[in-house]
Structures are given as structure tokens and as C-alpha cells.
């Protein structure tokens, strides 16, 4: 491709609304342009990267026995009503009517459509297992799209669905996909971790997320430093500690309760500073509204509530902190002074394991500007039960071994779910088994965020000058820079090299623009093509060109006539399976 003919409008300055690295470089490099919040054009460069990601996904999924299809973007409401998700899904499901007034939605995911497809024509156990996938634009009307391609409303996703005769067979399909995912992300050149995860709105009972490790990641994950355990913090189990917490071990456990004045101090940090007691000696009393009912939930002051665990425990569909008015009504005090001692107008009071046996703790007094000290669990208040309710944190004990959990932030680029019969039962997707009995198929579903991989790869592979593409994803393999367009020998050598590389089947971008060397170098760094061949007036006099990897490393002078074979060798080495 000749750059004079190639639409890659680069920007010298950072666009103002781009904060994260991938967004900045994708905009500056002329890969993407914004159309609306969370909706982007993919220009030729980004399209090429997407094609490469898709290619890797196709190869690996086909190898694993999955078959590609295209499913509709616009889906009828009836299917969603049948699965029950028309009511369950929130406003991120974009709904609209056609001219006849029939209701539709833009597909945020395709379980309904695929189940409808499979139930129509698959009737026998002989046709199973079946695994169908598609790569398509999805739309989710996200509450807050952000960070460019990392969280758009419209995004390209690969979604696969497996259908099996039994749970055992379905778990085999699951493992097959899990292994395919490992191969896919490895070939994408990503540093990733598969972690145990919550199943969220899709539903199901077993699930792993594939997280790309990056400081800009939105997801918090923990991983054991001793064993293979890794999980999203939302999901991470916590080992119930053997001995009760000792918030203030120096003091006698029979300290009596006292009321202290804590004017204006609402947060644990504020009260902690005021009373000069560590956050771990506090019991945080959260007033939670779950499906309209209020509950008091106690966690230790230095811990955070895991609302997903709470949601599961309560069997609630919607859980959030109660608003100011309801807190006032339930505790008789403004937000920030709730406590477990005395009258609390709530349906139940639950606590995290770590609260069990706490002595001499600090709690809210259910009275404006006051807290209680010297409060002991069991003596001064009782809860309905202790449960695993808090978020895992760095330094917690691993639930599987004696190791310690370490926290990382990650970007979720893939997710595999074991679904069971949730959808097949609701939508009557059944088959006749060998005994002639009608049974629901056992399903799994498997997503990969294609455009998100592009962003995540940049988050993980860049420097201060631009993108450094992993070789598997690069839009071109080689960038040829003739440095002086007015020196015929230079132009001639570049053209010759361009033709030779192209004929060798290598994707090459030739910077034939009439620009100064400096501009070409800057743009080349920004675009991030793995190999750069600079052709200058000095070197070409001796028949040499300069070969340089974008990812660090020194430039080397190589004879023009050997450049193609050297590049071929380098590319082979870079793309061969590690």
C-alpha cells in the first residue's frame, strides 16, 4: 500500500477527549474517528487490525470444530419475551418499533436468536454437539461509554454458542473453547490471565473471564502467588478466617460501650482520623435496598462490600445503597452514622465473616454526629447470619491454598460461560436422546471483544511515541520509508523493495509522501508497524538500507538485495508459536 493513496490521517496533537493511551494513539494514528458517544468509524488501519484479530479467532475456532454464521443485528421482541430477558434486561437494550408497530431490539448478544435457530432444525442427539459462532457488531446502550474502543456502545464481538446432550458433554465443549481462547489470546500477543468470574446478566453457573493485564483496566482481579487460583474480585471467594478479627487486641474485651461525639465525620476515614483508631476496628453498617426492602449489612471498616455476593445471598435482582431519605427513616440519622446497636428499621441484619467476634469496635450511633466505641459483636448486637460478603483485596489468603492473593487490574477481552439449560428450557430447544426421550440441550456461550482486543493490545504494547503492535495484530508487517523523495536512487530502491516485499506476500506500507525524514519517523512510530526499513541517501550509496524493529532493539544496516529474505526470516520467527 502506498501511503499517498492510503487514508490514515495522523494528528500531531492529542485529541482533547481521549485520555487512555489506546484511545489517544488510535485517534492520532488515524485508526479511528468518533461518530457519537461510544460509536466509532474504523478507518483502513483499524479495519486491517480487526481483520487480523478475526482471522486468528476464525482459525482457532474452526480448528476447535465451531462453524461460522451470521445472525441478525435486529431481533424481534418475541424471542426476548420467550427467554424472559425482555423484562429482565435494562435500558442498555436498545428497543424500537418497526413501521407496523412491532417491537424489536438491537442485539446486545445472541442467545435468543441462536436458540431459535438451533431448535428449529436440530432434533436428534446425533446432530450434537454443535457449536456456532459469529463475528458481528453488537450494540449495548451503555450507561457510560468511555475510553474509546475499550467500552463503546457499538463494538465488534465474536460470540459462540455450544449445544450438547449432557452436562458432561457441555463441560467438554467449555474446556475446548477455554483452550481455544488461550491459543487465540496468545497468538494476539497479549499478556492475559483466565480468571473465575461472575456470570452476570447472561446467566449460567460456571464462567471464566480472560483478562488482559493492564494498569488502565477497569476490572479488578486477584491471583494467588502460590497456586493457579485467579478470579475477578467480584467472584473471588474468601477463606473464612480461623480466629475472629482482633480490631483492638490491646484493650480488654469487656470494655463498655460509650457514645462519642464525632461532628461531621461520616466516612470511616474521617472518624478513624478523629478517634485515632484504625479502620479495621470499625464495623461499617451499610443500609442496602434490595428489591425494595432494606437490609443492614455489616463489614469490617477496612473491607468493601461485594454487592454481587450480597445479591446472590438475598436472591435479589437489584441491590444498591439506600438513598438518603430511606437511610434517615431506617436509622434515625443522616447517612454516615448507621450502626447495628439499638433499633434499626430493616428487614434483616447480615454481616461478613470478619465481623464475627469483633470486640471493642467503633460503630455508628444511629444519631447525627455520634458514634459508639467499645462495641462487641454478640454482646451488644446480634446479626441474622455471617456470610462471605466482602470484596477480595490484595494480601488476602488464597481460598484454595496457603498462598496470598495479589490484585491486578485487567481488561476483559473474553468470557466463557457454561449456561446449562437456562435458555434451552425457556425456549424449548430440545432433542431426542438415544432412548427416545425429549431433553433440553445443554448450552455454553463464549464471547470475545474484537475491537476491545485492539485497544487492550495497545494498552499493553506502546511507548511514548506510539503503538508497538504485537506482530500477530499489526495492520502491516513492514513500513518502508524512503527518506529523501528528491534523491532518485532512494526512491528507486524503495520502489524496488516495495515490489519485492509485496510479491513475497508481505503486507507493506510504503511512505511515498513528499515529507521530511523526521515526519516519516514520527508517523511510523505512531502507527506502530513492527518492522521499519529506512532508505537514506547515505546508505543507499553503499547499497544498504536500515532495518529496525519497532519494539526496541537496534537498527541494522543490511544490503538492499538481502532485505526481503531477512524480513521474511524475522517475520517467521515472530509469528511462530512460542
Partner RNA sequence: CGGGGUGUAGCGCAGCCUGGUAGCGCGCCAGUUUUGGGUACUGGUGGUCGGAGGUUCAAAUCCUCUCACCCCGACCA
Q: Minimum distance between the CB of residue 106 and RNA, rounded to whole angstroms? A: 13
Q: Could you tell me the three cell numbers for 349?
A: 441484619
Cα separations in angstroms, 13 against 10, 455, 462, 532: 9, 19, 17, 23
User: Considering only CA atoms, which of 414, 425, 442, 421 is closest in space to residue 207?
Assistant: 414
Q: What is the smallest separation between the CB atom of 218 and RNA, expressed in angstroms? A: 5
User: Which three three-digit cell numbers place residue 382?
Assistant: 446480634
Pick from 389, 361, 403, 138: which is nearest to 258 by CA? 361
When asked if residue 5 is in the footprint of RNA (CB under 7 A), the reply is no
Choose which of 518, 552, 553, 577 interacts with RNA (CB under 7 A).
Answer: 518
DSSP 388: -
Among 4, 17, 291, 561, binds RNA (CB under 7 A): 17
With CB under 7 A as the contact rule, the residue among 397, 537, 566, 574 that binds RNA is 537
Task: Kindly list the distances between the CA atom of residue 469 and the CA atoms of 24, 456, 506, in Å, as whole numbers in the listed order.
Answer: 15, 11, 16
Query: Which listed residue (517, 566, 574, 575) binds RNA by CB under 7 A?
Result: 517
- Residues 159-197 as b or e (16 or more Cβ within 10 Å = b): bbbbbbbeeebbbebbebbbebbebbbbbbbbebbbbbb
Binding RNA by CB under 7 A: which of 30, 152, 189, 420?
152
* 147 contacts 216 by C-beta, under 8 angstroms: yes
Q: Based on the shown chain and the rule CB under 7 A, indicate whether residue 522 belongs to the binding site for RNA.
A: yes
Q: Do 297 and 308 meet the contact criterion of CB atoms below 8 Å apart? A: no
Give the interface segment with RNA, choosing from 41-49, 176-184, 364-372, 538-546 (CB under 7 A): 538-546
Nearer to RNA, 351 or 483 (CB): 483
Question: How far apart, in Å, are the Cα atoms of 387 and each of 299, 309, 313, 314, 352?
Answer: 10, 9, 8, 11, 5
| Residue 333 contacts RNA per CB under 7 A | no
Q: How far is the CB of 306 from RNA (least distance, A)?
A: 10
Here's the x/- map for RNA, 51-90, by CB under 7 A: it reads as ---------------------------------------x
Q: Is the peptide bond before 129 cis (omega within 30 degrees of 0)?
A: yes
> Nearer Cβ to RNA, position 43 or 535?
535
Among positions 467-496, residues that touch RNA (CB under 7 A) are 483-484, 486
Residue 492 Cβ vs RNA, minimum distance, rounded to whole Å: 14
Taking alpha carbons only, the member of 355, 350, 368 closest to residue 290 is 350
Question: Helix or strand or coil: residue 481?
Answer: strand
Q: Are 406 and 203 in contact (CB under 8 A)?
A: no
Q: Which is nearer to RNA, 183 or 240 (CB)?
A: 183
Cell numbers describing residue 564: 526481503
Neighbour count for residue 234 (Cβ, 10 Å): 19
Distance from C-alpha of 213 to C-alpha of 193, rounded to nearest angstrom: 7
Helices (H), 165-264: 167-187
Q: How far is the CB of 474 from RNA (least distance, A)?
A: 17
Check binding of 180 to RNA (CB under 7 A): no
SS3 content of the chain, % helix, strand, coil (to 5): 30, 30, 40
Regarding 36 and contact with RNA (CB under 7 A), the answer is yes
11 binds RNA (CB under 7 A): yes
- Selected binder of RNA within 74, 137, 201, 499 (CB under 7 A): 201
Cα(392)–Cα(397) distance, rounded to whole angstroms? 9
For RNA, give the closer residue by CB, 434 or 464: 464
Q: How far is the CB of 96 from RNA (least distance, A)?
A: 16
- Helices within 89-239 (DSSP H only): 111-121, 167-187
Is 204 a binding residue for RNA by CB under 7 A? The answer is no
Residue 317 interacts with RNA (CB under 7 A): yes or no: no
Kindly tell me which of 136 and 404 has the beta carbon lying closer to RNA: 136
Q: Does 523 bind RNA (CB under 7 A)?
A: yes
- Cis peptide preceding 514, ω within 30 of 0: no
Q: 91 vs 505, which CB is nearer to RNA?
A: 91
Please pick, from the candidates 213, 346, 534, 560, the single residue that binds RNA as defined by CB under 7 A.
534
Q: What string marks each residue from 276 to 295 as x (binds RNA by CB under 7 A) or -?
A: --------------------
- Residue 233 corresponds to which cell in the numbers above? 474480585
Which of 126, 293, 428, 516 is the binder for RNA (CB under 7 A)?
516
CA dist., res. 347 & res. 469, Å (int)? 55
Q: CB under 7 A: which stretch of 127-135, 254-262, 266-274, 523-531 binds RNA?
A: 523-531
Q: Tell whether residue 501 is a contact of RNA (CB under 7 A).
A: no
Q: What is the CA radius of gyration of the chain?
A: 29
Residues 377-416 that bind RNA (CB under 7 A): 412-415
Please say which residue, 271 or 288, places its beta carbon nearer to RNA. Answer: 288
- Distance in Å, CB of 419 to RNA, minimum: 11
Q: How far is the CB of 516 from RNA (least distance, A)?
A: 4
CA distance 116 to 132: 13
- The CB-of-152 to RNA minimum distance in angstroms stands at 5
Question: How far is 578 from 574, CA to CA, in rounded Å?
Answer: 9
Interface residues for RNA in 247-276 (CB under 7 A)?
Answer: none
Q: Which stretch binds RNA (CB under 7 A): 242-250, 379-387, 422-430, 520-528?
A: 520-528
Residues 79-138 that bind RNA (CB under 7 A): 90, 92, 109
Q: Determine if 451 is a binding residue for RNA (CB under 7 A).
A: yes
CA dihedral (112, 113, 119, 125) positive or negative = negative
Which sign does the torsion angle of CA 457, 459, 462, 467 carry? positive
Q: Can you give the binding site for RNA, defined by CB under 7 A?
A: 10-17, 19, 34, 36-38, 90, 92, 109, 140, 142-147, 151-153, 155, 157, 200-202, 209, 218-219, 307-308, 320, 412-415, 447-449, 451-452, 465, 483-484, 486, 515-519, 521-526, 534-539, 546, 548, 555
Amino acid at each position: 500500500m502506498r501511503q499517498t493513496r492510503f487514508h490514515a490521517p495522523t494528528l500531531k496533537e492529542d485529541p482533547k477527549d481521549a485520555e487512555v493511551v489506546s484511545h489517544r494513539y488510535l485517534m492520532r494514528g488515524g485508526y479511528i474517528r468518533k461518530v457519537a458517544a461510544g460509536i466509532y468509524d474504523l478507518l483502513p488501519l483499524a479495519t486491517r487490525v480487526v481483520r487480523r484479530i478475526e482471522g486468528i479467532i476464525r482459525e482457532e475456532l474452526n480448528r476447535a470444530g465451531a462453524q461460522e454464521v451470521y445472525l441478525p443485528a435486529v431481533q424481534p421482541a418475541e424471542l426476548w419475551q420467550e427467554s424472559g430477558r425482555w423484562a429482565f434486561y435494562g435500558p442498555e437494550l436498545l428497543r424500537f418499533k418497526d413501521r407496523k408497530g412491532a417491537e424489536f431490539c438491537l442485539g446486545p448478544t445472541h442467545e435468543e436468536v441462536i436458540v431459535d435457530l438451533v431448535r428449529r432444525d436440530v432434533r436428534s442427539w446425533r446432530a450434537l454437539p454443535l457449536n456456532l459462532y459469529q463475528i458481528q457488531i453488537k450494540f449495548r446502550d451503555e450507561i457510560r461509554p468511555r475510553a474509546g474502543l475499550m467500552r463503546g456502545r457499538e463494538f465488534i464481538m465474536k460470540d459462540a454458542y455450544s449445544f450438547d446432550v449432557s452436562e458432561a458433554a457441555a463441560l467438554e465443549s467449555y474446556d475446548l473453547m477455554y483452550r481455544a481462547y488461550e491459543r487465540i489470546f496468545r497468538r494476539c500477543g497479549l499478556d492475559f490471565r483466565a480468571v473465575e468470574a461472575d456470570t452476570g446478566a447472561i446467566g449460567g453457573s460456571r464462567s471464566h473471564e480472560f483478562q488482559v493485564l493492564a494498569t488502565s483496566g477497569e476490572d479488578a482481579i486477584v491471583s494467588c502467588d502460590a497456586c493457579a487460583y485467579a478470579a475477578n474480585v467480584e467472584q473471588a471467594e474468601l477463606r473464612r478466617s480461623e480466629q475472629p478479627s482482633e480490631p483492638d487486641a490491646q484493650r480488654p474485651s469487656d470494655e463498655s460501650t460509650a457514645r462519642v461525639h464525632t461532628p461531621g465525620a461520616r466516612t470511616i476515614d474521617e472518624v478513624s482520623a478523629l478517634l485515632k483508631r484504625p479502620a479495621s476496628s470499625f464495623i461499617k453498617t451499610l443500609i442496602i435496598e434490595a428489591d425494595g426492602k432494606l437490609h443492614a449489612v455489616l463489614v469490617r471498616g477496612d473491607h468493601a462490600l461485594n454487592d454481587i455476593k450480597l445479591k446472590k445471598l438475598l436472591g435479589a435482582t437489584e441491590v444498591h445503597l439506600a438513598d438518603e431519605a430511606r437511610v434517615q427513616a431506617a436509622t434515625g440519622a443522616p447517612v454516615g452514622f448507621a450502626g447495628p446497636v439499638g433499633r434499626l428499621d430493616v428487614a434483616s441484619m447480615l454481616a461478613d465473616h470478619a465481623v464475627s467476634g469483633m470486640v471493642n469496635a467503633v460503630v455508628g450511633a444511629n444519631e447525627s454526629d455520634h458514634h459508639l466505641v467499645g462495641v462487641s459483636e454478640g454482646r451488644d448486637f446480634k446479626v441474622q447470619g455471617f456470610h462471605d460478603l466482602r470484596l477480595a483485596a490484595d494480601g488476602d489468603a488464597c481460598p484454595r491454598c496457603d498462598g496470598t492473593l495479589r490484585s491486578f487490574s485487567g481488561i476483559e477481552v473474553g468470557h466463557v460461560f457454561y449456561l446449562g439449560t437456562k435458555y434451552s428450557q425457556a425456549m424449548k430447544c430440545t432433542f431426542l436422546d438415544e432412548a427416545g426421550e425429549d431433553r433440553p440441550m445443554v448450552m455454553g456461550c463464549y464471547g470475545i471483544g474484537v475491537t476491545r482486543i485492539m485497544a487492550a493490545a495497545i494498552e499493553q504494547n506502546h511507548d511514548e511515541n506510539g503503538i508497538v503492535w504485537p506482530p500477530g495484530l499489526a495492520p502491516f508487517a513492514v513500513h518502508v520509508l524512503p527518506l529523501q523523495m528528491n534523491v532518485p536512487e532512494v526512491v528507486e530502491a524503495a520502489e524496488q523493495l516495495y515490489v519485492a516485499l509485496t510479491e513475497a506476500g508481505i503486507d507493506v506500507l510504503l511512505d511515498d509522501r513528499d515529507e521530511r525524514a523526521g515526519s516519516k519517523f514520527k508517523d511510523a512510530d505512531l502507527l506502530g508497524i513492527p518492522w521499519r526499513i529506512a532508505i537514506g541517501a547515505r546508505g543507499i550509496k553503499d547499497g544498504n538500507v536500515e532495518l529496525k524493529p519497532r519494539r526496541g532493539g537496534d537498527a541494522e544496516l543490511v544490503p538492499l538485495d538481502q532485505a526481503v529474505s531477512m524480513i521474511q526470516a524475522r517475520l517467521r520467527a515472530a509469528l511462530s508459536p512460542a
